[in-house]
Amino acid sequence: MATSVPHEETNRGLDGCSMPTYAIPLSALATGFARFGTGKNFSSGHASAAARLRSAVASEPFMVAGSGRFDTTLMAHFGNRIFCKMGAEGVMVASVPELGLGIAIKTDDGANRAAEVALAALLLGFDEAGWSDADRAVLTGLSHQVMKNWNGREVGTLRAAGKGQE
């Protein structure tokens, strides 16, 4: 099992699409996505299936999230180097196979926008990834979101605040 957390009736619920979903710690979710990205601790069959799935998503990222979505933009640029998926209630997961990393983010307010900005800023900080100038440009663009009111007027910007960014 990728996350090492049992899927039982006591931690099961339904998501907005009526799919069974399981409550698990973020650290376990991140571990699961690290394993998904690397195949580590998977049987050879499961590792092969994960690699095929990542490859399929990299070749058709639109099928994961659709037009104009964070996931689609990120995976269309990075291909097999990053797998990510926005989930329900502000949960964002990602795998960076080359670094052996899995990432799980949960926003308190359940909105996608902060999770997207956080993931882009976090990825931008991975100097060991050896991002190209084009990679950095994509991540920088995704790490700032302009906020508009119902009338389309700019009312603010959402950006990550952290070390050196306050």
pLDDT in tens, 49-99: 999 999 999 999 999 888 989 999 999 999 999 999 998 889 999 999 999
Quote the pTM value.
0.88
Q: What's the burial of 51, exposed, middle or buried (CB within 10 Å: 0-12/13-18/19+)?
A: middle
What pLDDT does 72 receive?
Answer: 95
The contacts of residue 61 (CB under 8 Å, 6+ apart) are: 71, 72, 74, 75, 76
Predicted confidence at residue 165, as pLDDT, reads 52
| CA separation for the pair 2, 7 (Å, rounded) | 11
Q: What is the pLDDT of residues 85-138, one digit of tens each?
A: 998 889 999 999 999 999 999 999 888 999 999 999 999 999 889 999 999 999
**H/E segment holding residue 133:** helix 133-142
